[in-house]
């Protein structure tokens, strides 16, 4: 791949503490032509955000050592435009903290398990919003 081709690829950051979920999301997204970096915790996600420009970020809400809200705050400070292209994923119910966070940040959310089509649709919608 030439440098110009790699610059034109859409990069997505996937953050989930479950390696199987990261691998599943990477597989689905790469089949659609996206380039994907994964992170399993907040520290790794923040390092990734500092090293690459992403078009979309997919964040698990419940993570050990820094949840999706913590990562989103850093992401918004580092890359304000990317903050409008974040998809939250969660396997948990919608507790008061999650609902307040979603409402205040106006983020879309997918509840696990979700279909390949739902994931791709959500990512494409976020990319269109960022254009």
pLDDT in tens, 66-107: 888 899 999 999 999 999 999 999 987 777 887 888 888 889
Domain-wise residue ranges, the chain? 9-130
pTM for the whole structure? 0.89
- Chain centroid offset of residue 12 CA: 7
Q: What is the DSSP string of 17-64?
A: S-HHHHHHHHHHHHHTT-EEEEESSHHHHHHHHHH---SEEEEES--T
CATH class of 9-130: alpha beta
Structure tokens at 39: 């992170």
Phi, psi of 37 (to 5 degrees): -110, 145
For residue 4, what pLDDT is reported?
38
């Amino acid at each position: 791949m030439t440098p110009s081709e790699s610059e034109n690829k859409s990069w997505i950051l996937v953050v989930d503490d479950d390696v199987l979920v990261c691998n599943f999301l990477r597989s689905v997204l790469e089949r659609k032509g996206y380039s994907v970096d994964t992170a399993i915790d907040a520290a790794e996600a923040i390092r990734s955000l500092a090293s690459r420009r992403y078009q979309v970020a997919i964040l698990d809400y419940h993570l050990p050592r820094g949840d999706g809200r913590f990562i989103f705050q850093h992401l918004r400070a580092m890359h304000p435009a990317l903050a409008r292209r974040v998809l939250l994923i969660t396997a948990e119910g919608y507790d008061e903290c999650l609902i307040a966070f979603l409402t205040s940040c106006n983020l879309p959310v997918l509840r696990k398990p979700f279909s390949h089509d739902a994931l791709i649709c959500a990512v494409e919608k976020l990319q269109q919003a960022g254009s």
